[in-house]
């Protein structure tokens, strides 16, 4: 395995970790209505479990409300059940062809819990980044043992992997800090 292949694989996997963190952070509630809160919901409908995005459009017309417009009105009850069964703590109200979710202001205890969850998600992402680093280093060592790359190339790859690790851990820190600020300031 060439050094470029190892580095490309490591960078792609680290990017996927960052993307996963972004989507997880979007699901953390702030004091404002955010369509990202319900994006991860799965709804039991048509005999299978379907993401809410495939069943409805989700919007936030004002800072305290999320509006869900089902493409098929017959799925409204299923969407309502999925919201009630979730850990969001929001009470859906069916209003004709739409579901309205009123997002109450967060108490200071809830804000602290949300910030704690942001820290947990960030740490999980850091661990995933470090695991990718370990795997990349292992591939470099295996390539050197198999005489595919030189010892100097192996060391260079390991240094570049470490640089990527620092870069992506910095991104994780920035994302977590931004989301924490949103939770505390909203």
> Can you list the domains of the chain with their CATH numbers?
3-26+107-185 (1.10.132.20), 36-102 (3.30.1360.40)
User: What's the pLDDT score for residue 161?
Assistant: 94
pLDDT mean values, one per 10 residues, the chain (186 residues)? 87 94 81 75 86 86 86 87 80 86 79 88 95 95 90 93 95 93 80
User: What's the pLDDT score for residue 1?
Assistant: 63
User: What's the pLDDT score for residue 26?
Assistant: 79
The model carries a pTM of 0.70
Q: Check: CB of residue 136 under 8 Å from CB of residue 157.
A: yes
Q: Pairing state of beta strands 42-45 and 65-70?
A: unpaired
Q: Which tokens go with 13?
A: 């996997």
User: What's the pLDDT score for residue 177?
Assistant: 94
Residue with the two structure tokens 């989301």: 179
Indicate the SS3 state at residue 30.
coil
User: What's the pLDDT score for residue 111?
Assistant: 82
CA–CA gap between residue 26 and residue 145 (Å, rounded): 43
Tell whether the torsion through CA atoms of 81, 83, 88 and 89 is positive or negative.
negative
């Amino acid at each position: 395995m060439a050094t470029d292949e190892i580095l490309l694989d490591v960078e792609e996997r680290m990017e996927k970790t960052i993307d996963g963190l972004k989507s997880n952070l979007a699901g953390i509630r702030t004091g404002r209505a955010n369509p990202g809160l319900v994006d991860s919901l799965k709804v039991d409908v048509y005999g299978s479990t379907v993401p809410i995005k495939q069943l409805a459009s989700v919007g936030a017309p004002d800072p305290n409300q999320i509006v869900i417009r089902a493409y098929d009105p017959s799925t409204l009850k299923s969407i309502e059940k999925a919201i009630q069964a979730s850990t969001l703590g929001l009470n859906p109200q069916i209003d004709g062809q739409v579901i309205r979710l009123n997002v109450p202001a967060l108490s200071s205890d809830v804000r602290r819990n949300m910030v704690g969850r942001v820290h947990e998600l960030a740490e999980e992402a850091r661990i995933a980044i470090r695991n990718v680093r370990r795997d990349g280093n292992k591939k470099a060592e295996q390539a050197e043992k198999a005489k595919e790359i030189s010892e100097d190339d192996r060391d260079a790859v390991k240094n570049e992997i470490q640089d990527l690790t620092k870069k992506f851990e910095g991104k994780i820190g920035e994302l977590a800090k931004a989301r924490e600020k949103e939770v505390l300031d909203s």
